Amino acid sequence: MMGTEQTGGDAMEQARRAFDAGADGSSQTAANVAALQQQVADLMAERDAAIARAEKAEAGGKKAKAKVAELPAEKKPRTLKAIDDDKALDRDALKAAIAGAETVEIAFVGKGDREVAGSQPQAIEGEVWKDHPRGLMLDQPVTLHGPAQGGAAYQVAGYALIVDGKPVARTMRSEPLMIAPGQTVKLENDIHF
C-alpha cells in the first residue's frame, strides 16, 4: 500500500508539474499572441494613416487652387546646404513629397549655404508645378521685395524647396540676382528643382 501511495503521490507531483509547465507555456503563448496582436494593430494604424494621407493629397490636388504667398522673413537665416546626390529626390519623388506634405515653401539662398537675410520665403499650395527638363518648375510668379530704402542690397544665388520644415531640394542660379533697396522683382518660370 505504501508503494502505491508513493506512486500516486509521484503521479500527482508529475501532474502538478505538467500543469504548471502548461500554465507557464500558455501564459507565454498568451504573451506572444498579445505582442503579435499589438504589432498587427500598429501596422493597421500605419496603413490607415498612409491611406488617409494619400486620399488627402489626391483630394487636395484636385481641389486646391494654385497659391503662392509670402511668409514672414526668418528671424535667423537658415542653413540650406546642397542635397547629397544619394539623397536627392527625382521628379516623381518630389511630386510625391509635395503631394503628401502639410507645408511646402521656397526659400532664397544667398552665396554660400545661408538663406538670404530678410528675404521672405514663399508658401506654395495647389497645382503650381509643371514638368521641366531639370525636374519640376514653379509655374506661378514669385515677387521679391528689396530691403527698405537705406538698407543693404542682397543677392539671390539659388532656391531651396522645404517640405514640412525639411529641405529636400536646392538649385542654384547660373547668375546671382541682385535685389536693390526699394526694388520689386517678379520671377516667372525661373524656379525649378
Q: Are strands 135-138 and 166-179 parallel, antiparallel or unpaired?
A: unpaired
The burial of 108, by beta-carbon neighbours within 10 Å (0-12 exposed, 13-18 middle, 19 or more buried), is given as buried
Residues in the chain: 193
Question: Which pTM value belongs to this model?
Answer: 0.64
78 pLDDT band, cuts 50/70/90, is: very high
Express each pLDDT in 131-174 by its tens digit: 988 889 999 999 998 888 888 889 999 999 999 999 999 999 99
| DSSP E strands, 34-165 | 67-70, 104-109, 122-125, 129-132, 135-138, 142-145, 154-163
Express each pLDDT in 169-182 by its tens digit: 999 999 999 999 98
> In this structure, what are the phi and psi dihedrals at residue 56, rounded to the nearest 5 degrees?
-65, -45
58 pLDDT band, cuts 50/70/90, is: low
* Grid cell digits, residue 76: 535667423
